[in-house]
Amino acid sequence: MRRFTLIAVPYLWLLALFLVPFGIVFKISLSDAALAIPPYTPTLDLSEGWAGIKALFAELDFDNFVWLTQDDLYWRAYLSSLQIALFSTLGCLLVGFPIAYGMANASESWRPTLMMLVILPFWTSFLIRVYAWIGILSTEGLLNQFLMTIGIISEPLQILNTNKAVYIGIIYTYLPFMILPIYASLERIDGSLLEAAEDLGCSRLQAFWLITVPLARPGVIAGSFLVFIPTIGEFVIPSLLGGSRTLMIGKVLWEEFFSNRDWPVASAVAVVLLLILVIPIVLFQRNEQKQREAEQ
Amino acid sequence: MKKTLVPAALALAVGAGAAFAEEVRVYNWSDYIDESLLTKFEKETGIKLIYDVFDSNEVLETKLLAGSTGYDVVVPSGTFLQRQITAGVFQPLDFSKLPNAVNLWDVIKERTAKYDPGNKYSINYMWGTTGLGINAEKVAEVLGEDAPVDSLALIFDPANMEKLKSCGVHILDAPVEVIPAALAYLGEDPDSQDPDVIAKTEPVLTAMAPNVLKFHSSEYISALANGDICVAFGWSGDILQARDRADEADNGVTIEYYAPKEGALMWFDQMAIPADAPNPDGAHKFLNFIMDAENMAAASNYVYYANGNKASQEFLEEDVIGDVAIYPDEETLKNLYTTSPYGPKVQRVVTRLWTKVKSGS
């Protein structure tokens, strides 16, 4: 019984905050757009009782999902979002791992300060920090002025309103989500393991590769998920820093919702996005589980 | 259709800390009123006014269609209002509570009746045109003294745009404004609902897009005023505000506004009360307050847009009532056209075309 209550809490959480909202979005994605409040049809009419529920299901169909396959806009937006998310995650990893490694190897007295410095930017609104990048990256911005003053470039670089600015904004914003889990796993590594490896004839580089990297793996995986998943649906950063040629699924979804007033197609876009994220993650975790069982 | 520098809606509570028995919530375009009117309303009526702002019709419409916005007064533009009336978003106005409605201007009421038959659901707040804002010196420098500044050819003829690219062009990020203009340029009916006719604008727009610095609906005010860009296709009052800012800054920038000779879109922002408004009685008091001749004049004097209030005209300053860019003369008035809302299928064609124009795919 106690075990049951223990499991019940997380499952209830999942049910209330994931499955129920997903069910609502999925139902809307099977509806048709209408000029009404709310702007889709059919809606659930409980006064009709069982007959009303049956009538509701009779009217639902998969037309909106078929529609998504008919215009290449959607799959190109998905692909370009996947690409941006993938490269941003790699970028965060390349920048974040050395920072986390440095933090974990700093002296005990320094670590709280370093940790503080990583968290400090969160004290300012995310929106203001992204706006600040506009001031840095624009053609008359700080970066271009600096580079032109020291004579590296003679013409200002066009960074703002391109994908470069989107990458910079995403990597900057999500970096702490990569650093913190990696730091957590690096910090736990027992220093005597590395000493033992060196005693047994490993070079420092070999010891790093054979001991530190495998033990940091859980942190790297957690960090990558924390960056990759929100990035793929990112809307604010591409709309502020990107140009009109930056194609991301978050923007397409916004247009369906606001410009076309087509909640059903917008919901279908969201459902497909969720499937694109959930299926690989579930497969990946199952694979991890199997490996772990095989090792034991 | 008024937008400003602040892209996100920011809430502005005007209450001065006094205790109020009731409150009324107004949702208006950003930077679209003389703010001293808000405190004046609270003093006169004893009602607490909660004044929030938005910057796009699409955002307002999505909130209204989701229902239960909690707002008592909202300000959609005509074409959006028409569709929202069909969806049952608004309640009919009770004109017995609106004695100041006698101040309204017949000329404007006739035109807004296209969107709100009989003017049963809304009153006109302000109206304006969509046209060309130019930095006179820079355009003359790039295109010569005889540049076609009063013609849509300025932005739709690639020969002009390729030269203007060097000094910067902003275009409204609003297909419902730009596509009718492109149709007018091509000599088609700007109000066409035919997807095949709308498709004719695609080559014109895709040829223009690479030379556009930015598609945006509010940044052009400061960009024009600072001299960062030389041409903007935007809303009349915004461009006149840019002219005013440049004058005040005395930075050597001269901004001019032209309603294109091929025809300019005339639009109306209408005040209406949602069907589920928590305080419809307070909402009527607010509408009546706004329709007061002096109050409405104060608002227009502040934002440089014309209003639909005949009685307010005697209180308007000369640089508002006397400016043909704000109150067009008979000649210009003939050249103005209005549009109707797109149906869902056509809307999809329009949005898709716009995405293609902006993203190049």
CATH code assigned at B145: 3.40.190.10
From chain B, the residues in CB contact with A260 under 8 A are 344, 347-348, 351
Does residue B1 sit within a domain? no
Count of other CB atoms within 10 angstroms of residue B178:
25
Residue in this structure with the two tokens 């259709």, named with its chain if needed: B1
Size of interface A-B (CB pairs under 8 A): 63
Q: Taking residues B69-94, what's their average pLDDT?
A: 95
For an interface test with B, which of A40, A43, A236, A259 has the most B Cβ atoms less than 10 Å from its Cβ?
A259
Confidence tier at B63 by pLDDT (50, 70, 90): very high
* Confidence at residue B361, expressed as pLDDT on a 0 to 100 scale: 63
Are B124 and B96 contained in the same domain?
yes
Which of B71, B85, B359 has the most A C-beta neighbours within 10 Å, making it the best mutation to test the interface with A? Answer: B359
With 60 as the cut, is the pLDDT of residue A56 above it? yes
**How many domains is chain B built from?**
2
A258, B86: Cβ pair inside 8 Å?
no
Q: Interhelix angle for A213-232 vs A72-105, to 10°?
A: 140
Report yes or no on whether pTM surpasses 0.95: no
Rounded Cα gap, residues B290 and B73, in angstroms: 11
**Which residues are registered as beta bridge partners of B234?**
B131
**Do residues B277 and B254 both lie within one domain?**
no
Amino acid identity at B10: L
For residues B251 and B146, state if they share a domain. yes
Residue A197 CB-half CA count within 13 A = 16
Does B189 fall in a domain?
yes
pLDDT tens digits, one per residue of A280-289? 888 888 988 8
Whether residues B116 and B42 fall in one domain: yes
Q: Using the beta-carbon criterion (under 8 Å), do B8 and A127 form an inter-chain contact?
A: yes
Q: What six digits make up the tokens of B206?
A: 């895709």
Gyration radius of chain B's alpha carbons: 20
The residue behind tokens 């001269």 is B254
Among partner residues A38, A127, A161, which is closest to B65 by beta-carbon distance?
A38
pLDDT tens for residues A123-168?
999 999 999 998 899 877 899 899 999 988 888 888 888 899 999 9
Structure tokens at A98: 């050395």
Contact A223, A214 (CB under 8 A): no
Task: Write out the residue range of the structural domain in which residue B279 sits.
Answer: 23-128+266-329
Residue spans of the domains in chain A: they are: 64-295
Match 């920072």 to its residue by tokens.
Answer: A99
**At A174, is the pLDDT very low, low, confident or very high (cuts 50, 70, 90)?**
very high
| Cross-chain residue pair B62–A257, CB shorter than 8 Å | yes
Q: Does residue B2 fall inside a structural domain? A: no
Is residue A260 pLDDT above 90, yes or no? no
Provide the mean pLDDT of chain B: 90
Judge whether B17 lies within some domain. Answer: no
Nearest to B86 among A35, A245, A261 (CB): A35
B359 pLDDT band, cuts 50/70/90, is confident
Which two tokens mark B211? Answer: 């030379």
Query: Taking a C-beta distance cutoff of 8 angstroms, is the pair B2, B30 a contact?
Result: yes
Query: For residue B353, what pLDDT is reported?
Result: 93
pLDDT tens digits for range A27-49: 999 998 888 888 888 877 777 77
Predicted confidence band at B18 (pLDDT cuts at 50, 70, 90)? low
Say if residue B240 is in the same domain as residue B317. no
Sort out which chain A residues have CB atoms less than 8 A from B351's CB and list them: 255, 259-260
pLDDT at A139 (0 to 100) = 77
Which stretches of chain B are assigned E, i.e. beta strand? 11-13, 22-29, 47-54, 73-74, 122-135, 169-171, 214-215, 231-235, 255-258, 264-272, 306-307, 336-337
Residue holding tokens 């808000």? B38
ipTM strictly over 0.85?
no
Q: For Cα atoms B128, B358, B168, give the angle at the middle one, nearest 5 degrees.
A: 65
Q: Are B308 and B105 in contact (CB under 8 A)?
A: yes
- Beta strands at B22-29 and B73-74: parallel, antiparallel or unpaired: parallel
Q: Which residues of A touch B90 (CB under 8 A)?
A: none
Residues B34 and B137 in one domain: no
Helices (H), ranges, A106-162 = 111-119, 126-137, 142-149
| Candidates 3.30.450.20, 1.10.3720.10, 3.90.1150.10, 3.40.50.1000; CATH matching A64-295 | 1.10.3720.10
